[in-house]
Amino acid sequence: MNCQFFAEHLGEWLDNELSLVDAQTMAAHCEHCGHCWAEAESLRGLDRLLGAELTISSAEIDHLCAHVLTNAPEPRPTGSVARAPATHSTRWLSGSARLGTAAAVGFLAAWLLIRMPRVDELRGPLARQPFAVLSPIIPEASIQATSADTTHQVRQSTSPFVSVGCAVTAPAEHPCEMQVSGGGVIRLDHATRISVESPQKVQLQRGKLWFLGTRECAPVTVQTPHLSVICQDSDCHVTVSAGVAAIDALRGAVRVESATGRDGESSPHVLMAGQRMTLDARQQVAIAAVDPLLLPSWMDRLLALKGPNPELHHRVAALWQQLTPAGQPNVYETELRKIGISCSGELASFLCPQRPDTSAPPITVDDEKRRERAAMILADVVDYDSAQPLVQLLADNNPGVRYHAARGLARVAGHSFNETPADWRAMSQAECELVADAWRRWLDNPYESLPPRAPRKKKA
């Protein structure tokens, strides 16, 4: 059985008009096809809503028909009918009855159409503004949304829309995203499980959840076993693990309600950006400071899976500004390295333009040292496909940037065109451009024979 046959006979199946064999075949197909099962559940729900909203008693129908028949104008017989024998009057009466019945049925149909709600109203606010699983890299089939029907049989659906009452489990290999009303986004770490209580409320059962709100987004409540987190125009990170709940406020204000007051009533807290709140199994609350830039590693992985995007650009830019000019690597450099190759394009965009705006203030010594450190990170994370910016950096005015660019290319290519990375510190601008052209030709065709060493004058 295919989905087309299922769709054509769905109504007959739900009305129990199919044979036993066909009904069993339809049921078996529905068990294995999430799309067809979702269509059947949608039609069942629509039938239930129509039955609840449009139930009219027989007394109301009889009263309506009597009202139509009573007020219907009596037709005036023609002359031929007036001269007809009395034995033919029953035909005229049956025609009048048919006319009145037709008028009653028409009036009743019009009244029902006026009373009938629109389909989008029957489906409720969730169908108009559903949770949608966004998976630009992750296949939709890897996101499992389970729900229980009237027989309490758990079914799995691969539909990108998640309805109220569903339990959503993120893939075990990758994080995923869910779109909420107003443009807000809920992100789930791998193997995280939530249940959708309403279009603006989810319950975090296990794992890690990240909420990014907007001004247009309605307030969203994230419930944990001991906490309720209310977010709107704010970003927060919620974790539930081993009976301990933790909330990180990363942007804006986050309202947290928990039953921790001595009087047993709800004790609300308002976390500002940069604060973390933890609640253990003993209902003990602790509030500490947290750096919003030090995101969990799974968030960096999700941004990397999505490819180049404005959020990744802003994150790399913020970490770039926190790089220390010298000394040991700080935590922000570690975060950049965690992002890995996905930050190479963003770092290159900051490194390659050397203040093209003439009205900008001159580059300071600390700025140049920060560029050297960024070039070092770039040289460590690039691969062949992202090595093109390193060739441009070979002609940089900063000898330290040239050194790291040559080191990165030597690591990717396995050779250095007879030039060691240290040679690039002392090479002139013309010599740098000459060898950079050889690297460009190699990137265009890495399988051609290596060119000879670029000629340059040796110092005496």
User: How many other C-beta atoms lie within 10 A of the C-beta of residue 260?
Assistant: 17
User: What pLDDT score does 229 carry?
Assistant: 92
Rg of the chain (C-alpha set): 35
Task: Indicate left, alpha or beta for 119 from its phi (over 0: left) and psi (-120 to 50: alpha).
Answer: alpha
User: How many other C-beta atoms lie within 10 A of the C-beta of residue 263?
Assistant: 6
Token pair, residue 360, equals 């900008």
Q: Angle at the Cα of 402 (from 400 to 407), degrees rounded to 5?
A: 95
Instruction: Inform me whether the pLDDT recorded for 70 exceeds 60.
Output: no
Instruction: Inform me whether the pLDDT recorded for 238 exceeds 90.
Output: yes
What is the tens place of the pLDDT at every residue in 280-326? Answer: 767 778 888 988 888 788 888 888 877 778 888 889 888 888 887 66
User: What pLDDT score does 209 carry?
Assistant: 93
User: What pLDDT score does 129 carry?
Assistant: 39
Q: Angle at the Cα of 164 (from 163 to 166), degrees rounded to 5?
A: 75
C-alpha closest to that of 206 among 239, 163, 183: 239
User: What pLDDT score does 248 carry?
Assistant: 92
In this prediction, residues 137-149 reach a mean pLDDT of 53
What is the tens place of the pLDDT at every residue in 266-279? Answer: 568 899 999 999 88
User: What pLDDT score does 83 carry?
Assistant: 40
User: What pLDDT score does 104 carry?
Assistant: 64
Q: How would residue 89 be classed by pLDDT, with cut points 50, 70 and 90? A: very low
Mean pLDDT of the chain: 73
Token pair, residue 99, equals 């006319």
Can you give the pTM of this predicted structure? Answer: 0.61
Pick the more confident residue, 199 or 88: 199
What is the tens place of the pLDDT at every residue in 257-266? Answer: 875 444 445 5
Q: What is the 3-state secondary structure (H, E, C) of 309-346?
A: CHHHHHHHHHHHHCCCCCCCCCHHHHHHHHHHHHHHHH
Token pair, residue 367, equals 């700025």
What is the tens place of the pLDDT at every residue in 151-173? Answer: 444 445 555 567 777 888 888 87
What is the tens place of the pLDDT at every residue in 332-357? Answer: 888 888 888 888 888 888 887 655 55
Q: Angle at the Cα of 233 (from 230 to 234), degrees rounded to 5?
A: 70
- CA distances to 34, 58, 110, 151 from 22, in Å: 19, 35, 37, 21
In this prediction, residues 74-102 reach a mean pLDDT of 48
The SS3 assignment for 239 reads: strand
In this prediction, residues 177-202 reach a mean pLDDT of 84
Which contiguous run of DSSP H or E holds residue 122? Answer: helix 119-128
What is the tens place of the pLDDT at every residue in 10-66? Answer: 888 777 777 877 877 887 777 667 667 667 766 776 665 555 444 555 555 565 555
Say if CB 186 and CB 211 are below 8 A apart.
yes
User: What pLDDT score does 121 carry?
Assistant: 38
Say if CB 423 and CB 402 are below 8 A apart.
no
At residue 30, what are phi and psi to the nearest 5 degrees?
Answer: -65, -35
Task: Give the DSSP per-residue string, 57-90.
Answer: -HHHHHHHHHHHHHHSPPPPPPHHHHTS-GGGHH
Boundaries of every domain in the chain: 3-54, 58-115, 126-289, 307-444
At residue 314, what are phi and psi to the nearest 5 degrees?
Answer: -65, -35
Instruction: Inform me whether the pLDDT recorded for 67 exceeds 50.
Output: yes
Say if CB 26 and CB 6 are below 8 A apart.
yes
Is the Cα dihedral 358, 364, 369, 373 positive or negative?
Answer: negative
CATH architecture for the domain at 126-289:
Sandwich (2.60)
Rounded CA gap, 111 and 72, in Å?
Answer: 17
pLDDT cut 90: percent of the chain above it:
7
Instruction: Inform me whether the pLDDT recorded for 97 exceeds 60.
Output: no
Q: Are strands 220-223 and 201-212 parallel, antiparallel or unpaired?
A: parallel
- Residue 295's Cβ-count burial label (10 Å; 0-12, 13-18, 19+) is buried
At residue 77, what is the residue type?
A: P
What is the tens place of the pLDDT at every residue in 412-459? Answer: 887 777 777 788 888 887 888 888 888 888 777 765 545 444 444 444
